[in-house]
Structure 1
Amino acid sequence: MIALFLRDIRLAVRAGGGFGLGLAFFLIVIVLVPFAVGPETALLARIAPGILWVGALLACLLSLDRIFALDREDGSLDLIATSPLPLEGVCAMKALSHWVTTGLPLVIAAPVLGLLMSLPSEGYLWLVVSLALGTPALSVIGTFGAALTVGIKRGGLLLSLLVLPLYVPTLIFGAEVARAGATGLAVETQLVLLAAVTCVTMALLPFASAAVLRMNLR
């Protein structure tokens, strides 16, 4: 499993779908928002948590179609599926490698980009906490969507349409944690709900991903 994890990280970086692409997209979104809504500090501070979370979510979408597509193209997915490795564990490792190459860099870069959005100083900690807790769910859900569309040519648009509705609970609770923290309100309820969504997705979706992969590979 560790070898598969390291291999996926190397493939993600070499194929151009790693942290560089996601970070670049995240930066572009955050830089363009002040041009669209104006330079008013109060307005930017109010919308900063939501915009940062939307930017991170869309950045995660960019590389989802590569989770299984590269393995499908070179035939290694069939070898992995017939190997002694449990397919549920393979899906979990795919999600983990996607998070390490995409989600984790976004978590690290978010405070820096928060400066561009005039995020209140109280909100930086909770922005990082919410992204660190919520982005693993985005990767796990994305892995499930990638498993559903692995046999479809040019299935990137379909993958986005399938995954975006499943991202909504994570987006709502994650942005709410960051917003409440930035305004000095209590964050316990939102944080618990965000953690619950992440735990449920991590517990159930690797099995669902493995099931649909088996059907697609028959």
Structure 2
Amino acid sequence: MIALLARDLRLAVRAGGGFGLGLAFFLIVTVLVPFGVGPETELLARIAPGILWIGALLACLLSLDRILALDWEDGSLDLLATAPLPLEALVSLKALAHWITTGLPLVLVAPALGVLLSLPAEGYLWILVSLALGTPALSVIGTFGAALTVGIKRGGLLLSLLVLPLYVPTLIFGAEAARRGAEGFSTATPLALLAGITFGTIALLPFASAAVLRINLR
């Protein structure tokens, strides 16, 4: 399992869909927002948590089609499906590799980019906590979408359309937790709901992803 995880990490970086592309997109979104809405500090501070969460979500979308597509194209997905490792563990490792190369860098850089959006000092901790708690769900849901569209030519747009509605609850509660934290209010409720979504997807979606893969590989 460790060897497979290391292989997926190397593929994610070499294929150009790793942390560099996601971070660059995240930075571009953060830089462009002040140009679009104006330089008012109060306005930027109010919308900063939501903008950071939207930027992180869209950055995660960039590399979703590469989670399984590369293995499908070179035929290694068929070999992995016949290996002793269960498909549920395989898709879980794929989701973990995606989070390490895409989600984790976004979590670490988000507080620094919050400076560009005049994020209040109280909000830096909460944007870090909410993204750390919510981005694993984005990777697991994205892996499920990748399993649904594997083998479809130019399926990237379809994958985005399938996954985006499933991302909405994570976005709502993640941005709400960061916003409440930045304004000094209690974050217990949105963080609890966000944790429920993340743990629920981690517990259930690998089985759904594995079932879809078995159908697509027949």
- Between the aligned partners of 1:174 and 1:5, the Cα distance in structure 2 is 27
The amino acid that maps onto 2:78 is D
**Residues 42-191 of structure 1 aligned to structure 2 (within 5 Å):** 42-191=42-191
CA distance in 1, matches of 2:200, 2:108: 24
Shift of 1:212: 0.2
**In the TM superposition, what whole-angstrom CA distance separates every residue of 1:97-156 from its partner, at most 9, and x where no partner exists?**
000000000000001100000000000000000000000000000000000000100000
Shift >3 Å, 4+ stretches: none
SS at match of 1:11: helix
Q: Give unpaired runs (5+ residues) of structure 2.
A: none
In the alignment, the residues of structure 1 paired with residue 154 and residue 26 of structure 2 have an alpha-carbon distance, to the nearest angstrom, of 23
- 1:213 aligns to 2:196 (yes or no): no
5+ residue gaps, structure 1, are none
Q: Which residue is equivalent to 2:10? A: 10
User: What does the per-residue CA deviation read over 1:171-191, in whole Å, with 9 as the maximum and x for residues that have no partner?
Assistant: 000000000000000000111
SS of equivalent to 2:83:
coil
State the superposition RMSD in angstroms: 0.3
Q: Could you list the per-position Cα deviations for residues 69-100 of structure 1 after superposition, in whole angstroms to 9, with x for gaps in the alignment?
A: 00001100000001111000000000000000
Q: What per-residue deviation string (whole Å, max 9, x for no partner) do you get for residues 9-32 of structure 1?
A: 000000010000000000000000
The one-letter amino acid of 2:132's match is: A
Counterpart Cα distance in 1 of 2:9 and 2:138: 17
Q: Distance in 2 between matches of 1:19 and 1:40?
A: 31
Q: TM-score, normalised on structure 1?
A: 1.00
